[in-house]
Structure 1
Amino acid sequence: MNISDADRAKVLVQALPYIQKYAGKTVVVKYGGNAMINEGLKDAVMSDIVLMQLVGINVVLVHGGGPEISSMLKKIGKESRFVNGMRYTDSETMDIVQMVLAGKVNKDLVQLLEQHSGRAVGLCGLDGKMILAEKMASAEDLGYVGEITEVNTQIIKDATDRGYIPIVATVGGSRSGEIYNINADIAAARIAAELGALKLILMTDIRGLLRNKEDENTLIPVVNVSEVPKLRHEGIISGGMIPKIDCCVEAVRRGVGRAHIIDGRIPHSILIELFSDEGIGTMLY
């Protein structure tokens, strides 16, 4: 697609008030799904994040790594087991989760961001007691799956103050030394709240919240958190969307300005959401 110089100028002018609004503010991006696997999308996300930092936004990248964990478990001949959509994590699986998330996936992302001329530092929830957790209380035992009890963002602030983009792997620890696997959406929401972030952006593999799941043209662009119980009752919020919306509601209730669920399959979806009047996904406020 060839874009004329006049159109290019128009795009920049439209972005200007947003750039001014976000300068010096914090945006937490939960990075996952297809955008983490597809090489072209990966590159687009990294350049988006570098651009955000260059215009003065404090970006914090929180990531999962489900597919990488499953693939490593497969390599050692261990089957992935899920209970109600959450990974059952015995102690051997927890070792793999820690190795893959805080090691391989985290450092690959640091390297990738540096290749795009960003300055990144890789962290996990164990660093600086960032994510304190205890075993998740649930009807069925999930093993070493943790529930966050406390988030300490000092180490994240230290990194952003020094001009680094913190990349956070969501492994947490208890006061008595156990290590837990933490859901990345939940961790991103809590970190955003603790940082007083202006925005939380969850990247997913869907357009956003759809009125009709079968039709991508039925996107609901804006939702007030007070409407969530009704949408849930009507079955519009269901399945895998429930935990994502819950995270957004939790973030907004804890003081995050806006929470967005965006389609990570669209190149540069973060920039479109942040710097254009139309936006791209579902925004909760």
Structure 2
Amino acid sequence: MDYLVIKCGGSVFESLPQSFYENIVYVQNELNLKPIIVHGGGPLISSLLTKLGVETTFVNGLRVTTNEVLDIVEMVLSGSVNKRVVRHLIEAGGMAFGASGIDGSLLKAEQVRDCPELGFVGEVVQVKVELLDQIIAQGHIPVISPLGIDERGQRYNINGDTAASAIAKALGARLCFISDIPGIYMNENNEKKTLYKVTKAEVEEMMHNQVITGGMIPKVKAAIDGLAHGIPEASIINGFTKDALLDFCKGKETGTKIILGEEVYSV
């Protein structure tokens, strides 16, 4: 199958036009691609944590997750956010199947090794591809909330970008991050220049110089890791630009394509 993993961040999905979801359905029906959506929900999680008086902090764009925070993360991601995305796709004329990475142990995970202060934040060690294939075979678009579980039943909060990359690696899929900006950009003469292509070395330099910060860090790291493990393509595109997803699927220039090689230029 020709898979396409679409990571839709929590900061953008609530504002995306319905035409974006219609494009996903079009991709499935007309371009013969098999879309899989992995979504975030950070702003809604933060909002509910604030309302409940639960303190939350971040390290390198990743949320420190205690058991108390994890309860709320699961409630938001696997509950309200997941089902909203499913509803949008149904309204767009598609068939969608919402699931958590915990369901059926779809995303087997373990605690992040190099940053124990993050708490119950996990990394994916195995993706049950057969479960995704079963959902897809029935004509549904899988909509996955990024939570994982280990063999002991301990659940983990997984960064959505990292989860999307893990699924793309397991499937050999193209990977597309949906953002509310055109991609990665540089400031030149007080003007923002979007980079159409950016290399691994350029990304690492921009992170070192704090040009790339916050929530963009997990995106570019996930993209580079995926490319290093065989995914054919990784790009960041603006979900609010008309037909940007279709342009990406058709190989047209849109957003920022992250590559491992040396070529880089701006548009």
TM-score calculated relative to the size of structure 1:
0.82
The counterpart of 1:68, out of the listed 39, 44, 62, is 44
Is 1:27 the counterpart of 2:4? The answer is yes
C-alpha displacement of 1:158: 1.0
SS at match of 1:212: strand
Q: Deviations over 1:184-205 (max 9, x none)?
A: 00000110110111x1001123
Assess if the C-alpha contact under 8 Å between 1:212 and 1:236 holds in 2. Answer: no
Structure 2 counterpart of 1:5: none
Letter of the 1:64 partner, please give it: G
Letter of the 1:282 partner, please give it: T
Structure 2 counterpart of 1:258: 233
More strand by share: 2
- Range 89-98 or range 132-141, more displaced: 132-141
Letter of the 1:27 partner, please give it: L
SS at match of 1:244: helix
Structure 2 counterpart of 1:125: 101
Assess if the C-alpha contact under 8 Å between 2:122 and 2:157 holds in 1. Answer: yes
SS at match of 2:68: helix
Q: Deviations over 1:202-227 (max 9, x none)?
A: 11232212232896641111234465
Assess if the C-alpha contact under 8 Å between 1:90 and 1:144 holds in 2. Answer: yes
Structure 1 counterpart of 2:247: 272
Q: How does 1:1-285 map to 2 (within 5 A)?
A: 25-38=2-15, 41-55=16-30, 56-139=32-115, 141-197=117-173, 199-212=174-187, 217-225=192-200, 228-229=203-204, 237=212, 240-275=215-250, 277=252, 279-285=253-259
Relative distance call for 1:181 and 1:227 in structure 2 (3 A) is same
Number of matched pairs: 258
SS at match of 2:93: coil
Structure 1 unaligned residues grouped into runs of 5+: 1-23
TM-score calculated relative to the size of structure 2:
0.87
* CA distance, structure 1, for counterparts of residue 176 and residue 188 of structure 2: 21
C-alpha displacement of 1:236: 5.2
Q: Deviations over 1:98-129 (max 9, x none)?
A: 11111111112112211111000001111222
Report % sequence identity. Answer: 37
**Cα RMSD for the two superposed structures:** 2.3
Q: Deviations over 1:243-272 (max 9, x none)?
A: 321111111111111100112342432123
More helix by share: 1
- Range 176-185 or range 65-74, more displaced: 65-74
Assess if the C-alpha contact under 8 Å between 1:73 and 1:93 holds in 2. Answer: yes
